[in-house]
Amino acid sequence: MAQIGTDLNRFILEEERKYPQATGSLSLALTAIETATKIIGSHIRQAGLVDILGKTGKLNVQGEEVQKLDELANEIMIEHLLDSGEFFALSSEEMEEPIFSEKGKNGKYIISFDPLDGSSNIDVNVSIGTIFSIHKKVTGTIEDFFQEGYKQVAAGYIVYGSSTMLVYSTGKGVNGFTLDPSVGMFLLSHPNMKMPEKGKIYSINEANAKKWIDDGLVDFVESLKEKGYTSRYIGSMVADVHRTLIKGGIFAYPADKKNTNGKLRLLYEASPMAFLITQAGGLATTGKEEILNIKAKSIHQRVPVFLGSKTEIQELLSYIA
- The mean pLDDT value of the chain amounts to 92
Coil, helix or strand at residue 20: coil
The string of pLDDT tens digits covering residues 210-254 is 999 998 999 999 999 999 999 999 999 999 999 999 999 999 999
pLDDT tens digits for 242-267?
999 999 999 999 999 999 999 999 99
Given a contact cutoff of 8 angstroms between Cβ atoms, the answer to whether 102 and 83 are in contact is: no
Vertex 22 angle, CA 299 and 8, to 5°: 75
Residue 98 three-state SS = coil
- In this structure, what DSSP letter does residue 54 have? S
d(CA 108, CA 46): 35
Residue 103 CA neighbour count, 13 Å, CB half? 12
C-beta of residue 154 within 8 angstroms of C-beta of residue 308 = no
- 217: nearest Cα among 227, 206, 228: 206
Decide: helix, strand or coil at residue 183: coil
Tens of pLDDT, residues 26-79: 999 999 999 999 999 988 887 655 554 555 445 555 555 556 788 889 999 999
User: pLDDT > 70: what percent of the chain?
Assistant: 93
Tell me how far apart the alpha carbons of residues 168 and 171 are, in angstroms, rounded to a whole number: 9
Q: What distance lies between CA 135 and its chain's CA centroid?
A: 14
- Cα Rg, the chain, nearest whole Å: 19
**Domains with residue ranges and CATH for the chain:** 8-190 (3.30.540.10), 201-320 (3.40.190.80)
Q: Are 20 and 69 in contact (CB under 8 A)?
A: no
